[in-house]
Amino acid sequence: MATPSTSTSSTPSTSTASSPASPLWQRPWARWAGPPLIVVVLAVLPLVMTESANDTLARIGVFAVAVLGLNVVMGYTGQVSLGQIFFLGLGAYVTAYGVQSGWNIVLVFVLTCLIPAVVGLLVALAAARLGGLAIAMVTIALPIVGVPLAKRLSDFTGGSQGLSARFVEAPEGSGLYDDQWQLYVVLVIGGIVFLLTSLLVRGKYGRAFAIVKGNENVASSMGISPYRYKVLAFTIASLIGGVSGFLYMVVVQYTSPETMSFGHSIELLVAMVIGGAGSIVGSILGGAFYVVVPDLTNAVDPSLTALLQGALLLAVLFVLPGGLVSLPRVLMRRLRRSPAGRGSAAPPTTPSSTTGSGTAAEETETERQGHA
């Protein structure tokens, strides 16, 4: 084998400090002023927008939270889960039932966090033992079994009719309309969930998740039990899913078995990947995708929806694996590369590339080291 790799440095994964034009949102003043600015904008927005726009935004918020939950187990920890919508539905049912039974709203919220989390924990304890794609294969059962189960347990769920619950109305003296108040509720609760989750994934748990996602053998040799962290991730995802169910009831005020159908389950996964797996902002984009795209395609031609979603998902996976959230980064890398000419000359490593150094033309006596 000849020399060690002759390739020049491959492209750095993050923009280096030396690069002159760092993105707008990473500049120091942006970090300072950004969050308060966003808070102000979000506080004002509901007051100025139309009712239907507020409603759409609120729904986006609901599903952004749901997608965020899915991201915890799938984007960050690498376990494909087709069950997230089930936890949303479960949370919605718990909320609806609790409200209809006249329970304290705080109690309802707590239950809507706990019950899905416990169910998720049980499912994960069983499924994570299997390794491989077992969590995918088992979670697919959740919506498939969930729908007939919801129909069957009609005492709790109202059967096929579903349950209505309207419990978020603007307080008397605030002068706000219901839709505005609902949007605020979604923004506040959703915001807290996003904040807590982002702290989680940026801390040591997030690092552990990433290691488990990357290589389970490496994780266990480092003392990080893949099993434990998969269970943890799945439980958190279920909890967040439950919260998104609560928010769902706040906005939509009605739930039925259809809420957690297999089709919706897949749509949620598609939305997550397109928005950006393993990304906080990507979850918001995913929520937007989930809500906006069907609205658009249903206006044009409803039977086109699934086709479009499938095509977009495949397009993203092929061209933009990091999801829409990575689009700015990818575009800027492209723009930066072309004027600079050929940057890294690292030869593509095909699976069967031979290290054919010192090949053919040498005498047959020469020992050939470096075989495929």
Partner 1 sequence: MGKFIQLVVDGLSTGSVYAALGIAHVPEGRGTLGDLTVRENLRVGAYLRKDAKGVDRDIDYCLDLFPNLQDRIKSNASALSGGEQQMLAVARAIMSKPRLLLLDEASLGLAPSTAKNVYDAIRRLRTESGISMIVVEQNANLAFTLVDSATVLEVGRNVLTGTSAELKGMDEIRRAYLGG
Partner 2 sequence: MGKFVQLVVDGLSTGSVYGAIALAIVLVHQATGLINFAQGGMAVLATYVAWRLTVNDVPLIFAILVSILFSFVVGAVVERWLMRRFERGDPDTAVVVTIGLLTLITGICGWLWTYNNQQFPSLFPLDTVSFLGVSISIRSIGTTLVIVVAMIALQGLFVGTKLGLALRAVAINPESAASSGLPVGRLLMVGWGLAAGLGAVAGALVAPQLTLTPGMLDSTLVYALAAVILGGLTSPIGVVVAAWIIGVLENLAAVYVPFIGFDLKVAVPFILIFVVLIVRPQGLFGRKVVVRV
Any residues with CB less than 8 A from the CB of 83 and at least 6 apart, and which?
123, 139, 140, 141, 142, 143, 265
Smaller CB separation from partner 2, 137 or 330? 137
- Residue 293: how many CB atoms within 10 A of its CB? 18
Rounded least distance, CB 6 to partner 1, Å: 14
Residues 272 and 67 sit within 8 Å (Cβ to Cβ):
yes
Report the partner that residue 160 touches, choosing among partner 2, partner 1, none (CB closer than 5 to 8 A by kind). none
Bridge partners of 254? 164
The Cα–Cα gap between 34 and 152 comes to 49
* Least distance between partner 2 and beta carbon 268 (Å): 11
Binding flag, residue 2, partner 1 (CB under 8 A) = yes
Partner from partner 2, partner 1, none binding residue 155, C-beta < 5-8 Å depending on class: none
One character per residue 294-313, x = contact with partner 2 (rule: CB under 8 A): ---------xxxxxxxxx-x
Per partner kind, with CB cut-offs from 5 to 8 A, the member of partner 1, partner 2, none near residue 304 is partner 2
d(CA 64, CA 70): 10
18 binds, among partner 2, partner 1, none (CB under 5 to 8 A by kind): none
- Give the range of 130-138, 146-154, 244-252, 361-369 binding partner 1 by CB under 8 A: 361-369
Ordered DSSP codes for 138-186: HHTHHHHHHHHHHHH-HHHH-GGG-EE-------GGG---HHHHHHHHH
Binding flag, residue 365, partner 1 (CB under 8 A): yes
Identify which of residues 174 and 354 has a Cβ nearer to partner 1 in the complex. 354
53 binds partner 2 (CB under 8 A): no
Q: Residue 148, interface with partner 2 (CB under 8 A)? A: yes
What does 37 interact with, of partner 2, partner 1, none (CB < 5 to 8 A by kind)?
none
- Contact flag: residue 11 with partner 1 (CB under 8 A): no
Asked if 41 interacts with partner 1 (CB under 8 A), we say no
In contact, 244 and 138? CB cutoff 8 Å: no
Residue 6 binds to partner 1 (criterion: CB under 8 A) = no
3 state SS of 305:
helix
Total residues interacting with partner 2, rule: CB under 8 A:
45
Which of 225, 215, 212, 313 is CA-nearest to residue 269? Answer: 313
| 8 Å CB contact between 205 and 232 | yes
Query: Contact region for partner 2 (CB under 8 A) — 33-41, 193-201, 223-231, 266-274?
Result: 266-274
Please state the φ and ψ torsions of residue 164, each to the nearest 5 degrees.
-110, 145
Please identify, using beta-carbon distances, which residue of 298 and 359 lies nearer to partner 1: 359
Residue 366 contacts which entry, partner 2, partner 1, none (Cβ below 5-8 A, type-dependent): partner 1
Cβ-based neighbour number of residue 180 at 10 Å = 20
* β-sheet bridge partners, residue 163: 255
Q: What is the DSSP string of 10-68?
A: PPPSS--TT-SS--GGGSHHHHHHHHHHHHHHHHHHHHHS-HHHHHHHHHHHHHHHHHH
354 is an interface residue for partner 1 by CB under 8 A: yes
Q: Cβ distance 252 to 67 under 8 Å?
A: no
Q: Interface with partner 2 includes 44 (CB under 8 A)?
A: no
Residues 6+ apart with CB under 8 A from 216: 131, 226
**Which three-class secondary structure state does DSSP give residue 370?**
coil
101: contact with partner 1 by CB under 8 A: no
Residue from 21, 48, 299, 372 touching partner 2 (CB under 8 A): that is: 372
Would you tell me which residues interact with partner 1 (CB under 8 A)? Answer: 1-2, 350-354, 359-360, 364-369, 371-372
Chain residues binding partner 2 by CB under 8 A are: 74, 78-80, 126, 129-130, 132-134, 136-138, 140-141, 144-145, 148-149, 151-152, 217, 221, 262-263, 266, 269-270, 273, 303-311, 313-314, 317, 321, 351-352, 372
